[in-house]
Amino acid sequence: MTEPAPPSGKTSSFGFRDVDAREKVRLVRGVFDSVASNYDLMNDLMSAGVHRLWKDAAAAKLNPRPGETILDVAGGTGDMARRYARMARQAQERRGGSDASVIVLDYNAEMIMAGVNKGGEPEMSWSVGDAMALPLPDASVDAYSISFGIRNVADVPQALREARRVLRPGGRFLCLEFSRPIAGPIRKAYDAWSFHAIPRIGEWVAKDRDSYQYLVESIRRFPDQPTFKGMIEAAGFSRVSVTNLSGGVAAIHFGWAI
């Protein structure tokens, strides 16, 4: 796979550090090479299983339909894609139509292999690719989603422009991502949990404290809900909405390619 090449001299955040954007690509790949085999278990431990409810809410918001082509970027082990495939099939059984196509795309081959080994649904296909340079034609998909992955991209505005490019007119964009708790007490409790507990859990379970320290720091560096909403609008999306989950610990950003 060809390495993506953000512009020379452009910086991007890697946790609390600012690094060359091209270096971030390499560093993030190393993180997910390391965490791939324990990724789903760690998600359960870090969120006490609440991430499953967030993903259910996001899938319901995307509302997969029979016959659609759905692109799940940073799809990793396929958690969201399995939801999309099952929901589209259930809708097909109710009202007919052709099979949906759900493409799982991730930059990290180790994550894709972990998902393949976990098993998929008949509608799913797997691909290694770059969110900043999607290997798809213009206006070729009906829905685009990225869940807990956009903050790991070296050039977020470029990834958003790519999402807009591949969506057909009337297509749907959805991003599920950790965000900014809207109440002070929730923010303090979440900071205490994430900065103190999550790296320790990573050390005990995955034998990798540093990768989980990065993941926690990357959440803190990610733009808050209004700022990210503005970035989505700047990429060409309309009617962008924000739905806070668990008091803003995570948020769904949703927009239309119209």
Q: Which residues define the annotated binding site for S-adenosyl-L-methionine?
A: 77, 106, 130-131, 147
Residue 178's closest CA among 245, 255, 106, 96? 245
Whole-angstrom distance, CA of residue 75 vs CA of residue 224: 22
Residue ranges at the known binding site: 77, 106, 130-131, 147
End-to-end, the C-alpha distance of the chain in Å comes to: 32
**161, 147 in Cβ contact below 8 A?**
no
Residue 105's closest CA among 131, 82, 142, 140? 131
Which residue reads 């700022």 in tokens? 227
**102, 120 in Cβ contact below 8 A?**
no
CA 159 to chain centre: 11
